[in-house]
Structure formats: structure tokens, C-alpha cells
């Protein structure tokens, strides 16, 4: 009997031990899962929204007293309640510039943290230009992907030139990169980017091509988003691009749609096509918004800047502002989805544009000018969990985006050593940080133009060394008078020449090696390139 009892006891002990082991394993797995989820929860999601060709003054909040004092000149009379709310919760940068106010260079700088002379994109990518974002550098999405992020792209890419192949008779045969893609005859500029290194680490891909806002060409690796077609097959669904892209993003954010691993943080880049031209008719925007807010407004009230040529701007301004209000509405929809999914507080949202729009100022439309309405861009950073609202005049540049976002995400140690942008995350987190503020931003322009933008001046020279722009933006916010160096104080003249020399050194520009135009430019005495 004793032996039977002992046997039963041993069996009970073994059973108990087995149960304990299983419980321990389950607890261990649960703890590991909880730890992984906690890590994911601690890592912020990142959403970058890039409007195309949106002016810095084209946001409604500038009309509020808090912001008026920080804006150089008057604001555009535009309705943007959701962008206004984003600004009220985040940091509004009043002096951010596009550095090179052109579509492709902006996107390359944003992704690489490098200036145009080093990232491979020194003008717009086009089918007859052998340029594209370098594949031998680690981009922002690639760094984040290595750190455990889900990565997604929606919208206009425009950082790569895809080489079409033609036979001897001129018939299109495909591209040089698999799986073949599609030649876009409608545009010389933005083409399909096939899977592989030129997508630079994006997992989810939904690319919109051409400026036909109501009927864009779509390529995607999500068959459900393009009627069951494969990546590389052309799709057109006849939906306004802004609305269509917001639909895709809303699906991506929703766990029920199974577009991402919800246990990982996400990085999503949304490249809007509007308010880029065309902006010439109701075909280019939303009729309801146009009729409600802009149709009956006087041109003099809409084009309210003293430097505006009404004969030019009146053709476009109503449609342009309508497009911005439509963008705002769809941004509001995405913000609401983030809140519904409990993601908003832990999501860094950056709202910006690749360059401005002249809209009749100085008799010009478009961009790629050294003038403020081309250079100046909206730039808002919202991160409810960690950033308090303020207005900041930091001279923020586009190569700074990559290192700053990595810094905000706790990934400072993963910032590529070769990046040229600065990590301003300490300053974003604490405006009293001892981190040194920049004295100037660097300007790249067409045909070899270079220059600097300080809090007071815009200064640029052309390839021959001639001064093409010198504006005192404090005294002359509409840049009505192009000054000469001899007309400004000597210390200011010296500062501008020194700053330009610093940037040519810091960016390893060809001019620095040659010490080109040393009578106009004061280069650093050593290679440390210190300001």
C-alpha cells in the first residue's frame, strides 16, 4: 500500500511539475509577447504627409493672432480646419524651406538625409535623364524597416527614372527592371517604380502617377486595391487621387483589413499629387468645396499679396485653394481613423510640401525659384505623447527630416553616419535644449545656383558667381526689391559670404574643392566646415 501511495505521489508530483513547466512556458511566451507588444507600443508610428506645390501661407491658422506675428506677410484666405488642429497640437516651423524647390530633389532629400549633390537627384527625374535616388545608401524607410517597422508608401513617388525599352520600330517592349512595369506616355516625369532596390524599403506600395487628379494611373502590390491586378499592371479607377489615397491609408490603418502587422509600429509616407497643376477648372478639384468656399470670393481678396499679378493668378487661385481644402478634408479623415484605432497619441505626423507655388507673385506661377513663395513650405510636426505645441523659427531643412525622426523614435544610434542633415529631436522635445540653432539653410537651384536663407536674408549666386538674389525678408517680406551686397551692412555682407562658404564645404559641393568665386564666397580656413 505504501508503495502504491508513493507511486501515486510521484505521479502527482511529476504531473504537478509538468503543469508548472507548461504554465511557466505559457507565462514566458505571454511575457515575451507582452514585451514585444510593449516595445511596439513604445515605438512611435510615423506618418509623413507631403502635399505637392503647396504654399506656406496657404493654411487657415495663419490668420489667428498667435500665428500672424510669426508669418512674413499676409496669409492666403484658405479653409483648412484639420491642418489648423494639427498645428494647434504640434510644432509649427515658420522658416522651413525646400532647399531645392523642385519635386524630385525634395523627395530624395527627405528619404536620404543628403543634399542633391550627394543623393543622386539634382533635378527632376525624367525618362530622358539618367538620374535617380542612389541605391547604395540607406534611406529612412530602410533604417526603420531594419528597426522593426512596417513600411508603406501611398501616392506620388517621383524619385526614380525607369528606363523604357523600344524595338527598332519604336514599339514599347517593357523596362530594364523586372517585372516589366508600364510605360507612361502621358508624362515624361513620374514613372512606375518596380519592386526592388528603387522602392527603398517600402513593404506596402500604392503608387499614383500623372497629374490627372480625377483619373490617375495606379500601380500597387496590393491586388485588392487595384481590382485584382498584379504589381506592374496599370489600373485606373476614375476616383480623385486625394480621396482614393485616403481610402487606401484608412484601409492600411484598420486591423480588420490585414494590410500590416499591428504588433509593429508603422512608417507611412503619403505623397499627395494636388495642389500641383493643373488647377484650371472644376475637373481639377471638388465642385462642392469650390462652390461653398471660393466661387463667389473676389479675386482681390484671394490674391491678397502686394506682389501678386492678378491677371495671372486669377485663372487659378479659386481652383488651387479648393484643392487645398479637399486635401485638408481627407487629412481630417485619416486623423479620425488614427484616433478610432487608438494610434493617434503615439503617432508622429509631419505635414509639409515639396515646394511652394508662386501663384501670380512677381508675374510667375509654379516653383523652382529662389523667391520665398517657392522656397517657403508648410512644416508641422505633431506627436501628442511627447511634443507640446509651440511656434518655432528654426531654419529647418529637408535633409534634417530623416535624422530628426529617427531621433524622436529613439533610434539616434541608427542614423547613418554619412547623412548631412541634422538631428534636431532634442530641440523639438525641449525648446530650451542647449543644441545649437542653425544660422542659415542651404539653397540649391537650377543651372548651378546656390545660396543661403537666414532669418533675415535670402542670398543666392549663379554659376558665374553673380548675385542673382539678395532680399531683406524682414524689411521687404514680399521681396519687391532685389538688393546689392554694397547696400547692406558690412557685417551682414560678411556673414552671408561666410555662411555660403560653410555650406559649400559642409555639403562637399564641387565649388568648395575649387574654392570657386572666392571673391564672392568666404570659404572655411579648415576642413571642419564649422559655422
Same structural domain, 313 and 416: yes
If DSSP codes are grouped into helix, strand and coil, which group holds residue 430? coil
Same structural domain, 54 and 192: yes
Confirm whether 524 is domain-assigned: no
The Cα–Cα gap between 446 and 479 comes to 20
**What does the pLDDT read at residue 233?**
83
Same structural domain, 498 and 399: no
Same structural domain, 358 and 481: no
pLDDT 10s digits, 12-54: 444 444 444 433 434 444 443 334 333 455 899 999 999 999 9
Same structural domain, 454 and 403: no
Using a 10 angstrom Cβ sphere, with 0-12 exposed, 13-18 middle and 19 or more buried, the burial of residue 221 is: middle
Residue-wise pLDDT tens for the chain (531 aa)?
Answer: 333 333 333 344 444 444 444 334 344 444 433 343 334 558 999 999 999 999 999 999 999 999 998 998 899 999 999 999 999 999 999 999 999 999 999 999 999 999 999 999 999 988 778 889 999 999 999 999 999 999 999 999 999 876 665 677 766 565 555 555 555 656 667 888 888 899 999 999 999 987 889 999 899 999 999 999 888 888 998 999 999 999 999 999 999 999 999 999 999 999 999 999 999 999 999 999 999 999 999 999 999 999 999 999 999 999 999 999 999 999 999 999 999 999 999 999 999 999 999 999 999 999 999 999 999 999 999 999 999 999 999 999 999 999 999 999 999 999 999 999 999 999 999 999 999 999 999 999 998 999 999 999 999 999 999 999 999 999 999 999 999 999 999 999 999 999 999 999 999 999 998 899 998 899 998 777 866
Residue 311 vs residues 30, 73, 275, 308, 317: alpha-carbon distances, Å: 68, 21, 20, 9, 11
Same structural domain, 337 and 255: yes
Same structural domain, 262 and 381: yes
What total of structural domains would you count in the chain? Answer: 2
Confirm whether 117 is domain-assigned: yes
Q: What is the span of the domain harbouring residue 475?
A: 449-514
Confirm whether 14 is domain-assigned: no
Confirm whether 458 is domain-assigned: yes
C-alpha cell, 416:
547613418
Q: Indicate yes or no: pTM above 0.85.
A: yes
Please report, for the domain that includes residue 339, its CATH number.
3.40.720.10
The Cα–Cα gap between 77 and 301 comes to 8
Same structural domain, 173 and 261: yes
Confirm whether 28 is domain-assigned: no
Confirm whether 443 is domain-assigned: no
Please report, for the domain that includes residue 456, its CATH number.
3.30.1120.10
Confirm whether 37 is domain-assigned: no
Same structural domain, 412 and 479: no
Same structural domain, 106 and 237: yes
pLDDT 10s digits, 188-199: 678 888 888 999
| Host H or E run for residue 164 | strand 164-166
Residue 378 near residue 323, CB atoms below 8 Å = no
pLDDT 10s digits, 54-71: 999 999 999 999 999 899
Residue 427 near residue 381, CB atoms below 8 Å = no
Same structural domain, 398 and 481: no
Same structural domain, 383 and 461: no
Amino acid at each position: 500500500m505504501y508503495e502504491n501511495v508513493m507511486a501515486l505521489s510521484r505521479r502527482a508530483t511529476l504531473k504537478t511539475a509538468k503543469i508548472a513547466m507548461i504554465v511557466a512556458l505559457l507565462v514566458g511566451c505571454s511575457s515575451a509577447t507582452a514585451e514585444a507588444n510593449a516595445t511596439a507600443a513604445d515605438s512611435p508610428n510615423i506618418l509623413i504627409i507631403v502635399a505637392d506645390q503647396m504654399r506656406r501661407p496657404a493654411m487657415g491658422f495663419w490668420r489667428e493672432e498667435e500665428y500672424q506675428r510669426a508669418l512674413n506677410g499676409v496669409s492666403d484666405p484658405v479653409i483648412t480646419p484639420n491642418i489648423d488642429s494639427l498645428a494647434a497640437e504640434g510644432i509649427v516651423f515658420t522658416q522651413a524651406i525646400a532647399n531645392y524647390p523642385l519635386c524630385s530633389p525634395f523627395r530624395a532629400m527627405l528619404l536620404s538625409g543628403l543634399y542633391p549633390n550627394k543623393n543622386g537627384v539634382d533635378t527632376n527625374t525624367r525618362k530622358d535623364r539618367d538620374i535617380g535616388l542612389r541605391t547604395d545608401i540607406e534611406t529612412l524607410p530602410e533604417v526603420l524597416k531594419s528597426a522593426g517597422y512596417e513600411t508603406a508608401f501611398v501616392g506620388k513617388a517621383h524619385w526614380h527614372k525607369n528606363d523604357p525599352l523600344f524595338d527598332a520600330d519604336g514599339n514599347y517592349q517593357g523596362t530594364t527592371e523586372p517585372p516589366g512595369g508600364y510605360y507612361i506616355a502621358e508624362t515624361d516625369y513620374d514613372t512606375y517604380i518596380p519592386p526592388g532596390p528603387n522602392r527603398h524599403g517600402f513593404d506596402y506600395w500604392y503608387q499614383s502617377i500623372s497629374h490627372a487628379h480625377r483619373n490617375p494611373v495606379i500601380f500597387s502590390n496590393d491586388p485588392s486595391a487595384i481590382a485584382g491586378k498584379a504589381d506592374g499592371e496599370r489600373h485606373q479607377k476614375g476616383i480623385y487621387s486625394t480621396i482614393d489615397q485616403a481610402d487606401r491609408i484608412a484601409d492600411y490603418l484598420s486591423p480588420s483589413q490585414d494590410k500590416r502587422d499591428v504588433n509593429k509600429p508603422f512608417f507611412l509616407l503619403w505623397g499627395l499629387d494636388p495642389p500641383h497643376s493643373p488647377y484650371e477648372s472644376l475637373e481639377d478639384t471638388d465642385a462642392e468645396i469650390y462652390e461653398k468656399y471660393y466661387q463667389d470670393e473676389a479675386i482681390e481678396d484671394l490674391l491678397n499679396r502686394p506682389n501678386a499679378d492678378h491677371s495671372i493668378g486669377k485663372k487659378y487661385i479659386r481652383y488651387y485653394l479648393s484643392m487645398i481644402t479637399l486635401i485638408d478634408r481627407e487629412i481630417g479623415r485619416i486623423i479620425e481613423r488614427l484616433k478610432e484605432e487608438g494610434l493617434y497619441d503615439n503617432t508622429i505626423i509631419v505635414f509639409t510640401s515639396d515646394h511652394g507655388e508662386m501663384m501670380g507673385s512677381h508675374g510667375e506661377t509654379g516653383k523652382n525659384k529662389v523667391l520665398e513663395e517657392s522656397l517657403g513650405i508648410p512644416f508641422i510636426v505633431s506627436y501628442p505623447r511627447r511634443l507640446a505645441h509651440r511656434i518655432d523659427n528654426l531654419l529647418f531643412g529637408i535633409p534634417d527630416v530623416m535624422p530628426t525622426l529617427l531621433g524622436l523614435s529613439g533610434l539616434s544610434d541608427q542614423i547613418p553616419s554619412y547623412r548631412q542633415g541634422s538631428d534636431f529631436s532634442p530641440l523639438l522635445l525641449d525648446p530650451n535644449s542647449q543644441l545649437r540653432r542653425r544660422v542659415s539653410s542651404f539653397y540649391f537651384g537650377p543651372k548651378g545656383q546656390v545660396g543661403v536663407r537666414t532669418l533675415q536674408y535670402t542670398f543666392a549666386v549663379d554659376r558665374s558667381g553673380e548675385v542673382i538674389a539678395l532680399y531683406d525678408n524682414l524689411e521687404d517680406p514680399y521681396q519687391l526689391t532685389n538688393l546689392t551686397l554694397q547696400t547692406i551692412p558690412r557685417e551682414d555682407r560678411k556673414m552671408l559670404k561666410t555662411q555660403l562658404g560653410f555650406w559649400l564645404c559642409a555639403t562637399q559641393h564641387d565649388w568648395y574643392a575649387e574654392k570657386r568665386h572666392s571673391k564672392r564666397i568666404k570659404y572655411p580656413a579648415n576642413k571642419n566646415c564649422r559655422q
